[in-house]
């Protein structure tokens, strides 16, 4: 088997695991036969869910009873030691037995244990948490989403490079267009840190991405740019506010369309259209986050997603490897 993508899977993290994780693997495998899953967790439970559905040569179960809890603080999670399913999965990429690691478990613990085990890519000061976000014409990469509360211009420039590399790994046919999230689009707007970053990015010569200047919150989804860069505080506020607004509107819409008989009839008629709408905005499509800056990709699936969402995160795993994310970042840093 050539070009096999070896994925280290923490089977025990998130709601409804390991069943959700295994169902996600089965779903992912149908379209990605060149996968080898290293599955970490409770062997008996994992086997009971896999049954006969997955060929024996495309997975391996590494048994452990220890798990990081969702309620652990990042440090508590790390202190549970080297036998948790999360730690073992990360160690597997450290030892080059896997190409990429994925967990739907405790985000903070995943970041801490990854930092303990994996090396930073040369010349990058801080790894960043990135995610996919829909826009009018496709998807954007947004980072940092909370790994680094305070940033300097060098960090934001690194994020631009890492974000563009991730974008190109996921969407090889598109060009990366970077913008800095700010409170205005004129050159003089914003704090000193962001203005200095703007100057440096404007002067930077590179063929990896096009720098498009500042972007305001209300333009994030218009599709003019596809890599959105911010410090972790700002990026987290923006992403969560967008999530909150989306669920608020969809709830208001549900209330409006199910309130009476006419509403129900028209909802029935409308079902194919609403399905199109739902599909476009299905959060499972852009489930999870990608922790970049370390020498292996670390993928965080949302703890609350279902097996379809987990499968989509496994597709992100596959693309970061086939798209050669880590080497792209290394080359673009030079």
Which residue among 34, 185, 199, 247 contacts a second copy (CB under 8 A)?
Answer: 247
Is residue 259 part of the contact set for a second copy (CB under 8 A)?
A: yes
Residue ranges of alpha helices (H) inside the chain are 19-31, 43-50, 74-79, 85-94, 107-117, 153-170, 192-203, 232-257, 261-269, 271-281, 307-322, 325-333
* Stretch in the footprint of a second copy (CB under 8 A) among 18-26, 169-177, 257-265, 302-310: 257-265
Which residue among 79, 83, 204, 240 contacts a second copy (CB under 8 A)?
Answer: 240
Is residue 197 part of the contact set for a second copy (CB under 8 A)?
A: no
Residue 186: CB minimum distance to a second copy, A? 9
Residue 273: CB minimum distance to a second copy, A? 5
* Stretch in the footprint of a second copy (CB under 8 A) among 6-14, 15-23, 28-36, 277-285: 277-285
Q: Please tell me what DSSP assigns to residue 84.
A: B
Q: What is the distance in angstroms between the CA of the first residue and the CA of the last residue of the chain?
A: 33
The tokens describing 243, both together, are: 């999530």
Q: Which strands make up the sheet holding 177-181, listed edge to edge?
A: 59-63, 35-41, 5-10, 100-103, 298-300, 289-292, 128-134, 139-143, 227-229, 177-181, 210-215
Q: How far is residue 203's CA from residue 141's CA, in Å, rounded to a whole number? A: 23
* Stretch in the footprint of a second copy (CB under 8 A) among 36-44, 124-132, 236-244, 319-327: 236-244
Q: Please tell me what DSSP assigns to residue 7.
A: E
- Cβ proximity to a second copy: between 14 and 323 the closer is 14
Is residue 125 part of the contact set for a second copy (CB under 8 A)?
A: no
Q: Please tell me what DSSP assigns to residue 285.
A: G
Is residue 253 part of the contact set for a second copy (CB under 8 A)?
A: yes
Is residue 315 part of the contact set for a second copy (CB under 8 A)?
A: no
Site track 75-114 with a second copy (rule: CB under 8 A), x = hit: ----------------------------------------
Neighbours of 80 (CB within 10 A): 17
Is residue 232 part of the contact set for a second copy (CB under 8 A)?
A: yes
Yes or no: say if 104 and 11 are a contact pair by the CB < 8 Å rule: no
Sites of contact with a second copy (CB under 8 A) = 134-136, 146, 149-150, 181, 183, 190-191, 216-222, 230, 232-234, 236-253, 255-257, 259-260, 262-263, 265-267, 269-270, 272-274, 276-277, 280-281
């Amino acid at each position: 088997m050539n070009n096999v993508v070896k994925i280290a899977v923490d089977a025990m993290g998130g709601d409804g695991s390991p069943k959700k994780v295994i169902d996600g693997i089965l779903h992912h495998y149908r379209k990605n036969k060149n996968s080898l899953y290293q599955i970490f967790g409770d062997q008996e439970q994992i086997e009971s869910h896999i049954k006969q559905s997955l060929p024996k040569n495309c997975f391996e179960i590494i048994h452990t009873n220890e798990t990081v809890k969702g309620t652990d603080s990042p440090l508590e999670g790390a202190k549970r030691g080297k036998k948790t399913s999360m730690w073992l999965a990360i160690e597997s990429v450290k030892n080059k037995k896997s190409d990429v690691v994925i967990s739907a478990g405790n985000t903070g613990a995943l970041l801490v244990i990854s930092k303990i085990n994996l090396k930073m890519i040369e010349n990058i000061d801080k790894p960043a948490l990135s995610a996919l976000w829909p826009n009018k014409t496709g998807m954007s990469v947004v980072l940092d989403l909370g790994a680094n509360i305070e940033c300097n211009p060098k960090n934001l420039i690194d994020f631009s490079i890492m974000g563009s590399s991730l974008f190109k790994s996921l969407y090889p046919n598109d060009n990366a267009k970077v913008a800095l999230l700010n409170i205005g689009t004129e050159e003089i707007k914003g704090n000193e840190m962001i203005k200095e970053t703007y100057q440096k990015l404007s002067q930077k010569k590179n063929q990896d991405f096009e720098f498009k200047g500042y972007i305001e919150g209300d333009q994030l989804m218009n599709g003019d740019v596809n890599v959105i860069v911010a410090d972790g505080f700002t990026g987290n506020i923006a992403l969560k506010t967008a999530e909150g607004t989306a669920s608020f509107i969809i709830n208001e819409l549900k209330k409006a369309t199910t309130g009476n008989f006419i509403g129900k009839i028209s909802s029935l008629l409308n079902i194919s259209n609403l399905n199109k709408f739902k599909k476009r905005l299905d959060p499972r499509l852009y489930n999870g986050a990608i922790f970049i800056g370390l020498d292996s990709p670390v993928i965080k699936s949302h703890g609350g997603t279902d097996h379809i969402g987990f499968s989509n995160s496994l597709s992100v795993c596959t693309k970061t490897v086939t798209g050669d994310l880590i080497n792209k970042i290394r080359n673009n840093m030079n």
